[in-house]
Structure 1
Amino acid sequence: MINRVVLFIMDSVGIGALPDSENFGDVGVNTLGNIATATGGLNLPNLQKIGLGNIDGIMGIDPIANPLGAFGKAMEISNGKDTTIGHWELVGLHVKKPLRTYPDGFPKDIMDAFEAKIGRKTLGNKAASGTVILDELGKEHMETGFPIVYTSADSVFQIAAHEEIIPLDELYKMCQIARDLMMGDHAVARIIARPFVGQPDSFSRTSNRRDYSLDPFGETLLDIAKNKGLDVVGIGKIEDIFNGKGITEAVHTKDNMDGIDQTINFLNSDNKGIIFTNLVDFDAKYGHRRDPQGYRMALEEMDSRIPEILNCMKSGDIIIFTADHGNDPTYKGSDHTREYIPIVIYGSSIKSNTNLGIRKSFADIAKTISDLLEIPDTGNGDSFKNLIIK
């Protein structure tokens, strides 16, 4: 019997372009494969032992004769390639209408209302890389006290502020004001607080980021598990992505290694249900910044700690290593890329050398977890429980 499922999100670790990726402006993208090509190969022996290299179409990691777990990849049905839509589909929702984006900045009436409510002017109001816009406007922000507002190709309204110029509490209040404004026809997936520190030419974002999300558009796997009395632990930005819905306990993390530490802590605790972890550094620090070498180092650092995670697992535990979208650091621009996501599953009750093939939706993972935990499902996705359980 399965007592716990660890849903372990390697944020943005895609494995190749989806058939419709060109519709999203993505041609030839492959986060893992292109990192391997650009950096001379990836060394991920622990994920490789479980089955990562045996997934059809993956480049840079050789298959092995008898992987320890189950492996495959999944397509995204939902209309998008961002964090929110990817995570929502992973827990059983299909979002057919894309969330609102603002590639040319936010409308004047929105910005006028926002500035009136916060009592300050703003800087920016355009699509930009989060680090580039600090280099461009950080000094002026420090001189004027005006927060920096920007967006991206994703459905986000981001507010950057130096922690010594606008205290965190005030920045968070600004984000709540923006959240209240960006609803209805202007609803975006997330309002994101982007605090930073340092001096001009040496600014750095801090771990005090906070996301103000929309509620999911329907009941998710997390809601169902919580309502059935199971624990649903959110590690990293999970609580933010779901606006707290369906979460029984949450801990925010400073970086990938902290996320792994917290996952181990909860594995060593007495809980039953779902441990939902997101490691965001791959996306935030290396994908968006188009740094394949840094991305590779972060992947290899994570892989080196997988034995610690597996050693903490009990007989009724399984772990699913997967992702939420791609973010190919060798591709143009600075935005996510529409890709397949890997599925690599391990546990004492999991059949070895099991090829799941290409799943038609991320929601197959949600349906499978529902079946494993013997709880109702959202109605989306096809379960592969019978393929993986001994």
Structure 2
Amino acid sequence: MNFRRVIVLDLASLGVGECSDANRFNSVGADTLGHIAVHDGDDFQLPTLNRLGLGNIRYSDPVVGLAPADDPIGFFGKIRSKSRDNSTLSGLREMFDFQSLTRTTSVIDSIVGLLGVHSILISNYQSYLSNQNEAEVIPVNTDDAGFEQLHQQVVAPNNGLLYFRTMGLQESNASDDLKGSVDALKLVDQHLARLMRELYSTDLLIITASFANDSTLDVTPTREYLPLIAYTSSSPEGKALGIRRTLADIGATIGEIFGLDISNESIGKSFLGELK
């Protein structure tokens, strides 16, 4: 597929169940999405995310209100952080950094410096994002403001990378506000319905999370699998992407789309070839 732009929506702090090494991080029993859903009960509905395949990620252990879709329109799976530093920013570094033929750098800066396309980051202050010297950083303080910026950027015919890190869910999870977490996810779902209508046929939308934080556990963040959904309007039928071993697979996919020279020493493996 001839993608010209990648939009990454980072639902920061959304985990989808304890990871295989959860015991090393005091995270046995962690399930951010599941516990949020149970709190809302029968009222928990995320129709857009579910059409994309969010419920299919947990087909063997369904989440309340998120039964697997019969015909998901997104490519779905779950992904994990490989880093031993389980922090709220380590996932970002793992997602975007890669080993080039000469040094460790990020796909964010590389596609601008080498290819001359845009990298636009929409976020509140995060040191990793702010240190991307070639990118344009658009500061926002709320999800409503962030999504409005996202919509404005998506309808503009620019090529490159567009990244938005949501704030509402991570703030609610950090303050043990399950009702706020429900509301934050429903807001995301509503904006996603609009966003999907705005995408160009050469856009690839990737929905994931850079870390998990189950507010029902005492540890922060929690070690969980993270959602991975890829959607393009040019492919109406989705399928499973399986379990990805590292967030670096996202950066590797972006790198392949834009033709970056990524060393074999990089840990990420592109899933671009599976999006068909």
Alignment TM-score > 0.5, same fold: yes
CA distance in 2, matches of 1:12, 1:238: 16
The answer to whether 1:256 aligns with 2:143 is: yes
Please list, as runs of the form range in 1=range in 2, the aligned pairs for 1:51-130 lying within 5 A after superposition: 51-56=53-58, 57=61, 59-60=63-64, 61-93=66-98
Paired-residue identity, %: 28
CA distance in 1, matches of 2:98, 2:270: 14
Give 1:237 shift.
3.2
Pick from 181, 193, 202 the counterpart of residue 295 of structure 1.
181
Please list, as runs of the form range in 1=range in 2, the aligned pairs for 1:1-390 lying within 5 A after superposition: 1-41=2-42, 42-56=44-58, 57=61, 59-60=63-64, 61-93=66-98, 218-228=104-114, 229-237=116-124, 240-284=127-171, 286-332=172-218, 335-350=220-235, 352-377=237-262, 379-388=266-275, 390=276
- How does the TM-score come out when normalised to structure 1? 0.64
Give 1:246 shift.
4.8
Give 1:73 shift.
0.5
Between the two proteins, the alignment pairs up a number of residues equal to 265
Q: Structure 2: which amino acid aligns with 1:292?
A: L
SS at match of 1:242: helix
CA distance in 2, matches of 1:239, 1:297: 23
> Would you say the 8 A contact 1:16–1:339 is kept in 2?
yes
Give 1:238 shift.
6.8
Structure 2: any 5+ residue segments left out of the alignment?
none
SS at match of 1:219: strand
* Divergent runs of 4+, >3 A: 237-240
Greater relative contact order: 1 or 2 (C-alpha under 8 angstroms, separation 6 or more)?
2
Q: Structure 1: which amino acid aligns with 2:107?
A: L
Moved more, 252-261 or 238-247: 238-247
Moved more, 258-267 or 349-358: 349-358
CA distance in 2, matches of 1:350, 1:249: 30
1:306 and 1:237, CA in 2 relative to 1: closer, same or farther beyond 3 A?
Answer: same
1:289 and 1:239, CA in 2 relative to 1: closer, same or farther beyond 3 A?
Answer: closer
> Would you say the 8 A contact 1:238–1:276 is kept in 2?
no
Give 1:88 shift.
0.8
> Would you say the 8 A contact 2:25–2:223 is kept in 1?
yes
C-alpha offsets along residues 251-297 of structure 1, whole Å, 9 cap, x if unaligned? 1112111111111111122321000110022112x111111111011
> Would you say the 8 A contact 2:130–2:137 is kept in 1?
no
SS at match of 1:287: helix
CA distance in 2, matches of 1:34, 1:25: 17
> Would you say the 8 A contact 1:222–1:246 is kept in 2?
no
SS at match of 1:254: coil
Give 1:368 shift.
1.1
> Would you say the 8 A contact 2:109–2:135 is kept in 1?
no
1:352 and 1:368, CA in 2 relative to 1: closer, same or farther beyond 3 A?
Answer: same
CA distance in 2, matches of 1:370, 1:252: 25
Give 1:83 shift.
2.2
1:291 and 1:46, CA in 2 relative to 1: closer, same or farther beyond 3 A?
Answer: same
> Would you say the 8 A contact 2:88–2:210 is kept in 1?
yes
Give 1:19 shift.
1.3
Q: Structure 1: which amino acid aligns with 2:56?
A: N
> Would you say the 8 A contact 2:97–2:104 is kept in 1?
no
> Would you say the 8 A contact 1:16–1:58 is kept in 2?
no
> Would you say the 8 A contact 2:121–2:129 is kept in 1?
no
> Would you say the 8 A contact 2:98–2:262 is kept in 1?
no
Give 1:340 shift.
0.8
Structure 1: any 5+ residue segments left out of the alignment?
95-216
